[in-house]
Amino acid sequence: MKITVVGAAGMVGSRVVTEAASRGHDVLAVFRKAASAALPPGVTAVEGDANDPDRMRTLFQGADAVVAATRPAPGSEDGVTTTTTALLDAAGAAGSRILVVGGAAPLRVPGRPGLLVIDSPDHVPEAVRAIAAASLAQLEACRAHPADWVYLSPPATLEPGRRTGTYRRGTTTLITSEDGASRIAAEDLAVAVVDELENPGEDKHFTVGYQAAGA
């Protein structure tokens, strides 16, 4: 499979590149600036601005799937929708399916179906509310777009860790472990991303997370 990863320098994008390459896929890793680290075999690095739909369309040509794993710099959260729409435009023009790695904010709180994660201080402290709000707008931009897209909401806590190769998949409700935590290692989120690319599910919006507290 030919996979193009936008945001290949980021926490999620870099791990998606590694995971996809380890499975033998042909990966095009898109960096805003030239890659400074060695890349796995089977990965080609290119430069490209996610907000340039013409450049992105060229890079998406021939791709079986695109992964949008971009993240705004602090203070630039308002640009998330513009960037996502540009990537959706490019994917649609190229005829490629696009998986957008977004945020947990649009998910529902377990046991409280009327409450979104963004409105739960337990999961979204004030310090990250701006980026959380941006993910709500990002999902709405996807829903309004005719491209072939799927939106992945990670758990409330996403950080580097150990690849276990296991996770639980859900739809639009936050996944928590028995101790109430909602988390996954970026390495296992990458596993879920590539699993979805290889075997697409029916849900346009889904989430993943650990079910066991010690995962």
- Looking up residue 83, the CATH number of its domain turns out to be 3.40.50.720
pTM as predicted? 0.94
| 145 in a structural domain | yes
Q: Which domain covers residue 63, as residue numbers?
A: 2-209
| 165 in a structural domain | yes
Helix, strand or coil for residue 41?
Answer: coil
Q: What is the pLDDT along the chain (215 residues), one digit of tens a residue?
A: 999 999 999 999 999 999 999 999 999 999 988 776 788 888 999 999 999 999 999 999 999 999 999 988 777 778 899 999 999 999 999 999 999 999 999 999 998 888 999 998 888 777 778 888 899 999 999 999 999 999 999 999 999 999 999 999 999 999 998 888 899 999 999 999 999 999 999 999 999 999 876 66
Domain count for the chain, please give it: 1
Q: Which two tokens stand for residue 88?
A: 């959706």
Rg of the chain over all Cα atoms, to the nearest angstrom: 16
| 215 in a structural domain | no
Helix, strand or coil for residue 163?
Answer: coil
Q: Where would I find the beta strands (DSSP E) of 10-148? A: 26-31, 43-47, 65-68, 97-101, 108-109, 112-116
Q: d(Cα 77, Cα 84) in Å, to the nearest integer?
A: 12
| 99 in a structural domain | yes
| 214 in a structural domain | no
Q: d(Cα 58, Cα 125) in Å, to the nearest integer?
A: 39
